[in-house]
Amino acid sequence: MPFFYFDYYYLLYVVPPLIFAAWAQIKVKTTFSKYSRYHSSRGYTAVMVARHILDSNGLFNVRIEMTSGSLTDHYDPKSNVVRLSESVYNSTSVAAIGVAAHEIGHAIQHANGYVPIKIRNAIIPVTNVGSALAFPLAIMGIIFSFEPLITIGIWLFVAVVFFQLITLPVEFNASRRALRTLKNDCFLVGEEYNGAKKVLTAAALTYVGALLVALGNFLRLLALSGRNRD
């Protein structure tokens, strides 16, 4: 997201959400690091748990692969692959198992036609354009007093905000599915389960932060366009 045009609205609307988002990122990393030191008493690795959950839901065709990096775990619906990071794949930690189960939750969402994830996937192309062009177009429109550019920029940014908004139920639902399965199937018990829950709760805060940043920039854009019209 480009921020080459500086104004006091940036301080008012954008800086506080950015601070929250930065704190959320630190929170998820420190929480993951903490519970990476606590291991499953049953000795399951994250990939073993992931495979079991997939198979128990009839998703035998979904593959699991290792990917480089830390906390780079994701489900790729195009390739039908769950990719677990190096710090998660073979780990028996409650943090790793929680993260793996969360990503499997996304695979199950896709298989079951979960509506919010279908909506999110449908607007990704518009969101990608909006993320790259919304603010530059609007600022150019403001600088040159060209109303159509401002309007296009605002509507593109609406798509960005909506994407972040629809992401929340997608991520929260995946975590609920994960935690329910980990508890009901006794993969994690007692404090092990609580540790995984704390990791996923911390991860959820990063998506809240992303939404707040998007909203802050949208309010900034509206304020700038309103000032330009005045």
CA distance 43 to 34: 18
Q: Sheet holding 81-85: strands in order across? A: 63-67, 81-85, 74-76
> DSSP labels for 96-139?
HHHHHHHHHHHHHHHHHT-HHHHHHHHHHHHHHHHHHHHHHHHH
Q: Which of 65, 103, 147, 192 is catalytic?
A: 103
- Distance, in Å, from the CA atom of 195 to the CA atom of 97, rounded to the nearest integer, reads 10
Known catalytic residue: 103? yes
How far is Cα 107 from Cα 59, in angstroms, rounded to an integer?
8
Residue positions annotated with a catalytic role: 103
